């Protein structure tokens, strides 16, 4: 951190809410700066690697390295420490799966953080569900949120939202850093969302490789088939769902937005609502979309789509990097041209990160199953 | 590692089953040695810290440090890396809560590992359950295993096992490294255990500190009150339990064994079975126990206890360190003297670690609810 930044540092740092129990570091101050600290007496260089920048920490006479970042966006960020060239998790933080690894994350308090706070309202359960997928010939896992009251009342049936993560993330994303359970608990308690089941599965599902010696073959995703032929039937058997299109929604973030938009347009008999958070199926292109050819002409008949889709939701962060503004913009232009109605939301002051997606989930589920 | 050890190293290392998806290190070979590896080009000393020993890793010309441990006991061990004096999680492993931190763990394949393997049998669910505890004035969490079929059949009611972790561990211990769900899934599929619900809560529950300025006051544990007055009523409301003593068991490991033995002897109207894994309530003393005074004379009437307890189980690892052999031995001597019947099991070749407790759980639950 430059001297000019040091001069304006406000000394009101507190341990982050995303820390391990009792761990004093990392800390966050009222400027949304992060202070990292670690004992590494024999190290020659220690850095905090956060938000695409590496901040040099400074060693004290006890061998403890400490330093601060520039102010961060509100919400959740992945980060790591670098110790003499080794990239490692911070031993002070909890760990989160994203960016292709289980590693450190930090929660920057947000002005609107109340909607995902742990509050004195009835709480649903999040269940870990292991299953064997014949299509992929592999064990898979999903997390299933059931709303408060699900277990007590053994007759009520519920609508279902299938909710997908982004690239280099997994089925824990929405269940852990996404705070899906708390967002739903709070909305349902406030009667802003109807009680629903939320299924969070893994978007990576590849065709098994058999009878080939070609190790360079790219994996072929069959997630759509797994969703339609394995996940939905399993959930409709194991949980008390209302098993029809009117009571089944889907949504995803980034890669998951792309995937779920394709899934719903190929399966309009199975779903009636779609949410695309920070992603569209034309990604990464910002070119004008021709509805006659795009996705085999699935968006050609705007009037029919308006009848079939009860909710079509698109959202993004105001600070999204390229190519997202361009590709989402091109997709919206196509929808507008086709006269296809959709709800839209721009998350203020957030980028391609979890705070955008938490806010998107809040807005989207508030519209679901209300027809 | 000394040269003599290097000479006998068998080069059949494979990535550990406890690694993050796709991560090549750490690895384990057929001698149960662990090979750690991490890139740290500017470091001057990197160590693998495992099983109470620190092993120096060796740097290659690309800045990657690699090295091997001595052979380890079968089962699960906590470990960490030390980089120029910083103790950090290995970025290659999954993370487990124990030893007072969320950090690295490694799975050494065991000869009897089949009983906790992920197999093609019906799988139960593990639910994360958040609740507010008035007694501690704090949010708490438990994981609840419900057996396969629980959700499909909405009428069947089940017996319940309350299962507790050890000191410096938490409610994730049994649910994650304990592999409780897989152990139960496999035993139930083999008809070696009856279908049951397993509740894994946090054994740390302190009286709220109010109206005092004395910051040096030691926390007062009220876990027994929380278990009896909050956890059990909540579970009996939220889950389809058979809510009586004949269908309620309790067990714990180490600190949890001590806690649960006290809980059952104070609440024989609520439980009919107890399992003590690597712990007894006289810990850490190895002195002869006087049943007239020990735990307020709760073990005085051996005949009455034999009638009330359907299962009294004690187990330990053959390599337990002091003071466990002495204190468990003194407790068993007291039981023998009082004519109190109990089942016993010694886990071969394991110490005060999770492999002892997985095996203990397998043996104990096989005896439960069969009267």
CB contact (8 A) between residue A127 and residue B132: no
CB contact (8 A) between residue A118 and residue B139: yes
H/E segment holding residue B337: helix B324-338
Nearest-angstrom CA–CA distance, A212 and A86:
38
Residue A220 has pLDDT above 90, yes or no: yes
CB contact (8 A) between residue B81 and residue A101: no
Q: Do B79 and B139 belong together in one domain? A: no
Residue B1 has pLDDT above 60, yes or no: no
Q: Do B161 and B284 belong together in one domain? A: yes
pLDDT at residue A208 in the model? 92
For tokens 């190929």, what's the residue?
A266
Residue B4 has pLDDT above 70, yes or no: no
Tens of pLDDT, residue by residue over B107-159, are: 999 999 999 999 999 999 999 999 999 999 999 999 999 999 999 888 899 99
Nearest-angstrom CA–CA distance, A165 and A254:
7
> How large is the average pLDDT for residues A128-151?
97
pLDDT at residue B239 in the model? 96
Q: Do A72 and A130 belong together in one domain? A: no
Write out the residue range of the structural domain in which residue B51 sits: 13-109
On chain B, the residues whose CB falls within 8 A of the CB of A85 are 39-43, 63
ipTM of this predicted structure: 0.95
CATH of the domain at A103: 2.60.40.10
Of A109, A127, A147, the one marking the end of a domain is: A109
pLDDT at residue B5 in the model? 66
> How large is the average pLDDT for residues B38-60?
98
Q: Is residue A124 part of a domain?
A: yes
Of the residues A25, A79, A83, A99, the best mutation for testing chain B's interface (the one with the most B CB atoms within 10 Å of its CB) is A83
Q: Do B88 and B138 belong together in one domain? A: no
Q: Is residue A258 part of a domain?
A: yes
Q: How many CB atoms lie within 10 A of CB B236?
A: 15
Of B69, B84, B109, the one marking the end of a domain is: B109
Which SS3 state, helix, strand or coil, does residue B360 take? Answer: helix
Which SS3 state, helix, strand or coil, does residue B236 take? Answer: helix
Half-sphere exposure of A233 (CA within 13 A, CB side): 7
Nearest-angstrom CA–CA distance, B22 and B39:
17
Q: Which residues pair with A50 in a beta bridge?
A: A53, A79
For B84, the closest of A23, A43, A90 (CB atoms) is: A43
Q: Is residue A3 part of a domain?
A: no
Q: What percent of chain A has pLDDT over 90?
A: 94
Residue A2 has pLDDT above 70, yes or no: no
Q: Is residue B3 part of a domain?
A: no
Tens of pLDDT, residue by residue over B281-290, are: 999 999 999 9
Residue A291 has pLDDT above 90, yes or no: yes
CB contact (8 A) between residue A88 and residue B85: no
CB contact (8 A) between residue B84 and residue A139: no
Nearest-angstrom CA–CA distance, B92 and B355:
22
Which SS3 state, helix, strand or coil, does residue B53 take? Answer: strand
pLDDT at residue B152 in the model? 87
CB contact (8 A) between residue B84 and residue A42: yes
Asked if B18 and B107 touch (Cβ cutoff 8 Å), the reply is: yes
- Nearest CA-CA distance, residue B224 and chain A, Å: 22
On chain B, the residues whose CB falls within 8 A of the CB of A87 are 39, 91
A20 CB near a chain B CB, below 8 Å?
yes
Of the residues B20, B24, B26, B83, the best mutation for testing chain A's interface (the one with the most A CB atoms within 10 Å of its CB) is B83
Phi and psi, residue B307, nearest 5°: -75, -40
For A151, the closest of B86, B132, B239 (CB atoms) is: B239
SS3 annotation, chain A: CCHHHHHCCCCCCEECCCECCCCCCCEECCCCCEEEEEECCCCCCEEEEECCEEEECEECCCCEEEEECCCCCCEEEEEEEEECCEEECCCCECEEEECCEEEEEEEECCCCHHHHCCCCCCCCEEEEEEEEECCCCEEEEEEEEECCCCCCCCCCCECEEEEECCCCCCCHHHHCCCCHHHHHHHHHHCCCCCCCEEEECCCCCECCCCCCCCCCCCCCECHHHHHHHHHHHHHHHHCCECCCHHHEEEEEECHHHHHHHHHHHHCCCCCCEEEEECCCCCCCCCCCCCCCCHHHHCCCCHHHHHHHCCEEEEEEECCCCCCHHHHHHHHHHHHHHCCCCCEEEEECCCCCCHHHHHHHHHHHHCCCCCC
Q: What's the whole-number average pLDDT of chain B? A: 96
CB contact (8 A) between residue A139 and residue B118: yes
Question: Crossing angle, helix A354-365 and helix A180-189, to 10 degrees?
Answer: 30
Nearest-angstrom CA–CA distance, A326 and A341:
20
**pLDDT category of residue A209 using cuts at 50, 70 and 90:** confident
- Nearest CA-CA distance, residue B293 and chain A, Å: 38
A155 CB near a chain B CB, below 8 Å?
yes
Of residues A131 and A210, more confidence is placed in: A131
- Nearest CA-CA distance, residue B199 and chain A, Å: 13
Q: Do B314 and B350 belong together in one domain? A: yes
Q: Is residue A370 part of a domain?
A: no
Q: Is residue B254 part of a domain?
A: yes
On chain B, the residues whose CB falls within 8 A of the CB of A118 are 130, 139
Asked if B189 and B122 touch (Cβ cutoff 8 Å), the reply is: yes
A48 CB near a chain B CB, below 8 Å?
no
CA dihedral A368, A155, A145, A226 (to 10 degrees): -80
Q: Do B131 and B54 belong together in one domain? A: no
Q: Do B92 and B221 belong together in one domain? A: no
- Give chain B's end-to-end CA distance (angstroms, integer): 53
pLDDT at residue A60 in the model? 98
**DSSP code at position B193:** S
pLDDT at residue A212 in the model? 62
Strand order in the sheet with A14-15: A14-15, A27-28, A34-39, A64-68, A58-59
Of the residues B18, B128, B150, the best mutation for testing chain A's interface (the one with the most A CB atoms within 10 Å of its CB) is B128
Query: Structurally, how many domains does chain B consist of?
Result: 2
Q: Do B320 and B231 belong together in one domain? A: yes
Of A74, A109, A144, the one marking the end of a domain is: A109
For B86, the closest of A38, A123, A154 (CB atoms) is: A38
Q: Do A29 and A150 belong together in one domain? A: no
Q: What's the whole-number average pLDDT of chain A? A: 96
Nearest chain B alpha carbon to A88: B91
Q: Do A69 and A185 belong together in one domain? A: no
Residue B3 has pLDDT above 60, yes or no: no
On chain B, the residues whose CB falls within 8 A of the CB of A240 are 151, 154
Picking from A259, A107, A131, the residue whose alpha carbon sits closest to that of residue A182 is: A107
For A103, the closest of B86, B91, B237 (CB atoms) is: B91
Tens of pLDDT, residue by residue over A234-261, are: 999 999 999 999 999 999 999 999 999 9
Tens of pLDDT, residue by residue over A83-136, are: 999 999 999 999 999 999 999 999 999 999 999 999 999 999 999 999 999 999
pLDDT at residue A211 in the model? 66
Nearest chain B alpha carbon to A140: B118
Residue A3 has pLDDT above 60, yes or no: no
On chain A, the residues whose CB falls within 8 A of the CB of B83 are 40, 43, 83-84, 86, 88
pLDDT at residue B213 in the model? 61
CB contact (8 A) between residue B83 and residue A81: no
Nearest chain A alpha carbon to B86: A40
Q: Do B289 and B252 belong together in one domain? A: yes
Tens of pLDDT, residue by residue over A151-206, are: 988 889 999 999 999 999 999 999 999 999 999 999 999 999 999 999 999 999 99
Q: Which residues pair with A206 in a beta bridge?
A: A221
Q: In b/e form, how buried is each residue of B8-31, taking b as 16+ CB within 10 angstroms?
A: eeeeebebbebbbeebebbbbbeb
CB contact (8 A) between residue A84 and residue B41: yes
Q: What percent of chain B has pLDDT over 90?
A: 94
B63 CB near a chain A CB, below 8 Å?
yes
Residue B308 has pLDDT above 90, yes or no: yes
CB contact (8 A) between residue A91 and residue B81: no
On chain A, the residues whose CB falls within 8 A of the CB of B81 are 88
Q: Is residue B7 part of a domain?
A: no
Nearest-angstrom CA–CA distance, B263 and B228:
8
Nearest chain B alpha carbon to A170: B21
A111 CB near a chain B CB, below 8 Å?
no
Nearest chain B alpha carbon to A96: B95
CB contact (8 A) between residue A45 and residue B42: yes
Tens of pLDDT, residue by residue over A56-91, are: 999 999 999 999 999 999 999 999 999 999 999 999
CB contact (8 A) between residue A130 and residue B123: yes
H/E segment holding residue B174: helix B172-175
CATH of the domain at B120: 3.40.50.1820
Tens of pLDDT, residue by residue over A296-353, are: 999 999 999 999 999 999 999 999 999 999 999 999 999 999 999 999 999 999 999 9
> How large is the average pLDDT for residues B189-201?
98
Q: Is residue B79 part of a domain?
A: yes
pLDDT at residue B218 in the model? 81
Nearest-angstrom CA–CA distance, B246 and B226:
21
CB contact (8 A) between residue B43 and residue A86: yes
CB contact (8 A) between residue A128 and residue B130: no
- Tokens standing for B141? 């969490």
Of the residues A44, A126, A127, A158, the best mutation for testing chain B's interface (the one with the most B CB atoms within 10 Å of its CB) is A127
Which SS3 state, helix, strand or coil, does residue B257 take? Answer: helix
Q: Do B238 and B253 belong together in one domain? A: yes
Residues 195-254 of B with CB under 8 A from A: 237-240
Size of interface A-B (CB pairs under 8 A): 138
Asked if B102 and B83 touch (Cβ cutoff 8 Å), the reply is: no
Residue B371 has pLDDT above 60, yes or no: yes
What is the DSSP annotation of B283-308? TT--SPP-TTTGGGGTTS-HHHHHHH
């Amino acid at each position: 951190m430059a001297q000019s930044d040091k001069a304006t540092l406000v000394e009101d740092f507190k341990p982050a809410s995303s820390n391990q129990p009792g761990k004093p570091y990392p800390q966050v101050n009222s400027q949304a700066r992060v202070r990292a600290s670690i004992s590494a007496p024999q190290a020659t260089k220690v850095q905090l690697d956060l938000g695409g920048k590496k901040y040099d920490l400074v060693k004290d006479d006890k061998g403890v390295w400490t330093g601060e970042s520039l102010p961060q966006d509100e919400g959740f960020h992945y980060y790591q420490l670098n110790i003499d060239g080794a990239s490692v998790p911070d031993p002070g933080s909890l760990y989160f799966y994203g960016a292709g690894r289980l590693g450190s994350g930090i929660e920057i308090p947000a002005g609107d953080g109340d909607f995902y706070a742990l509050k004195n309202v009835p709480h649903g359960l999040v269940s870990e569900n292991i299953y064997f997928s014949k299509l992929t010939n592999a064990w898979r896992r999903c997390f299933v949120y059931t709303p408060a009251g699900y277990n007590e009342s053994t007759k009520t049936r519920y609508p279902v939202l299938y909710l997908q993560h982004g690239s280099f993330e997994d089925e824990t994303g929405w269940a852990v850093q996404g705070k899906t359970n708390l967002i739903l608990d709070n909305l349902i308690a406030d009667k802003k969302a109807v009680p629903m089941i939320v299924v969070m599965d893994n978007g990576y599902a590849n065709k098994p490789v058999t009878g080939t010696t070609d190790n360079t073959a790219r994996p072929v995703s069959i997630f759509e088939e797994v969703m339609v032929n394995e996940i939905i039937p399993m959930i409709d058997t194991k949980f008390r769902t209302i098993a029809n299109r009117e009571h089944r929604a889907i949504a995803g973030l980034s890669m998951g937005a792309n995937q779920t938009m394709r899934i719903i347009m190929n399966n309009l008999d199975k779903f009636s609502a779609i949410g695309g958070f920070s992603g569209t199926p034309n990604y990464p292109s910002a070119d004008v979309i021709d509805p006659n050819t795009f996705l085999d002409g699935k968006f050609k008949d705007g009037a029919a789509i308006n009848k079939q889709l009860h909710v079509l939701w698109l959202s993004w962060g105001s600070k999204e990097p390229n190519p997202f503004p361009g590709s989402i913009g091109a997709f919206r232009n196509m929808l507008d041209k086709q006269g296809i109605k959709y709800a839209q939301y721009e998350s203020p002051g957030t980028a391609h990160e979890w705070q955008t997606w938490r806010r998107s989930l809040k807005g989207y589920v508030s519209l679901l199953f209300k027809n």
